[in-house]
Structure 1
Amino acid sequence: MQINLSGHHVEITTSLREYVDTKFSKLARHFDHINNVHVVLTVEKLNQKAEANVHLNGSEVFASAVNTDMYTSIDTLVEKLDKQILKYKGKISQH
């Protein structure tokens, strides 16, 4: 799984990059067919926003989360993506 990380109005530090990598490794454990993940971290005044677009085999999953803390935004984002990927995995296995 390849993770592309970019930031708008925020500098991507090594600790932030490592945190994103460890959190998104959870998604790879649940579903093996993740090709590419594009994560965008944005700061807008007091809001810290995290968005991700996950490319799966034959589909795409998008989620975003906004909070006052960037790490909390990333946690919420991974939880949302995890639910969506498990739902997609369930649809595939039923067919």
Structure 2
Amino acid sequence: MSEPTRKYSITMPRDIAEAARARSGPSGLSAYVAAAVARQIERDNLGELIAVAEAEHGPITPEEVQQKRDLLRRAHGERRGSGVDAA
């Protein structure tokens, strides 16, 4: 069963709304916008988590960031190679 929904009225620049409508596909503009907002909330939460971790442990160096990116790329490649959908 899907989550309950509620109708909202939002205002956004026309060019953004039209681009979103053009890309929304069969699921429609509302689903497209809801997915975009959900992704932004995830990014905001991650940003907050990073800020807390850096306040406690100090800033992350560019080298550490690159090490984690490499690790994620390898893990992503291994999942694809095993037939598991990594998306």
Radius of gyration: which is bigger? 2
Structure holding more strand per residue: 1
Higher RCO (Cα < 8 Å, 6 or more apart): 1
Q: TM-score, normalised by structure 1?
A: 0.37
Structure holding more helix per residue: 2
Q: TM-score, normalised by structure 2?
A: 0.40
